[in-house]
Amino acid sequence: MAFTTRAAVHTQHGSPLTVTEITLPDPGPTDVLVELFASGICHSQLHLLHNPETPTPALMGHEATGKVIALGSQVSHVKEGQRVMLTWVPRDVTPETGRDRNAFRAAWEFEGKTNSGGIYTWAEHVLAHEQLVVPLDESVPTDVTAIVGCATVTGVGAVLGSAKVPAGATVAIFGVGGVGINAIAGAKIADAERIIAVDLSDEKLDFAKEFGATDTINASETDPVEAIVEMTSGGVDFAFDAIGYEVTMRQILNAVRPGVLGGGDRGGTAVLIGVPQTDATIDAKALLMGERNYIGSLGGTSHPMVDFKQYIEWYKQGALPLEKMISVKYDGLDSINEGVATLESGKISGRSIMIYKES
């Protein structure tokens, strides 16, 4: 029997989201129907809203918490009534199955059309493929943990999973929004010696200090690359771009230290986290002559069935202060357009979330 719920639907480029009823089909063998508690509002979704090539109608959002209310016959890692986290990162796949992203998408219906909706969390109920549903500890809050499925796995995961930052390293984070402060928290967990936060907002830079930033640079007032090279006598071991702008994609390479020719010591590593909004030209001479490294980090190179449990343990221990990362809590789905507008204005330090239902 089809299930009706409310969702925020992107129906037309340049227009506000439409909060309306949608109809979800019965769960298929590998689907899970989840009633949501809370969802994060991620900056990457703004890129989709502003992109005229984004197919419409479209459901948005990709990090949340909820409770399983129905599941398919082949789902065994969760059960009805269980708390879960929603994410866009497949929880437990092989390299072969992981290459087919379409294998992890569930269908939804809107105005008679059936789209491949993938994961979506700006809705009161979600029909998701079981690979995008991860168990949540029953003892933790369901509001602040809603950001684990994207902000945390992307930021903390980039530092500890993709880059594997060792203790004593020097680190720079370009862009200290929701993902950036998670990267800073990850660097602190890694016991990095120096953590440099780079942003255009003094308010966000002050906020970054609460998560472990030892130094801050306002890139609107000084050249961040020159400042980092001077502060560290040559560059950091790791630089992360949590923005994805052309200028920051270039800057992170030049912000890492060069290697030592003949000494067997390669240069530092630049890590792209933020979704690129354009192509970028990097300093190829710096890449070659300094034997620097440039890598991408998609979802923190993570294994959610293992890593999410560790993130929650760090949260319980106080090492990953998720509650401090939440700047604004909106009351329900009808607040979505306000949340999007506030995020676009640059007024959100950290992450904002929508609370649909108390656990």
Q: What is the pLDDT of residue 54?
A: 81
Give percent above pLDDT 90 in the chain. Answer: 79
Q: What is the pLDDT of residue 262?
A: 74
Superfamily of domain 164-296: NAD(P)-binding Rossmann-like Domain (3.40.50.720)
Structural domain boundaries in the chain: 3-149+301-355, 164-296
pLDDT in tens, 121-176: 999 999 999 999 999 999 999 999 999 999 999 999 999 999 999 999 999 999 99
User: CA 39 to CA 61: how far, in whole Å?
Assistant: 7
Q: Which helix (H) or strand (E) holds 270?
A: strand 269-272
Query: Tell me, what DSSP letter sits at residue 173?
Result: E
Q: 241 and 270 in contact (C-beta within 8 Å)?
A: yes
Mean pLDDT of 29-45: 94
Q: What is the pLDDT of residue 272?
A: 98
Structure tokens at 155: 């930021």
Q: Which of 311, 292, 153 is nearest to 236 (CA)?
A: 292
Q: What is the pLDDT of residue 42?
A: 92
Residue 259 has pLDDT above 80, yes or no: yes
- Of residues 50 and 264, the one with the higher pLDDT is 50
Whether CATH 1.10.287.3510 fits 3-149+301-355: no
Sign of the alpha-carbon torsion through 236, 237, 242, 247 = positive
Structure tokens at 107: 């269908």
3-state secondary structure of 133: strand
- Of residues 260 and 106, the one with the higher pLDDT is 260
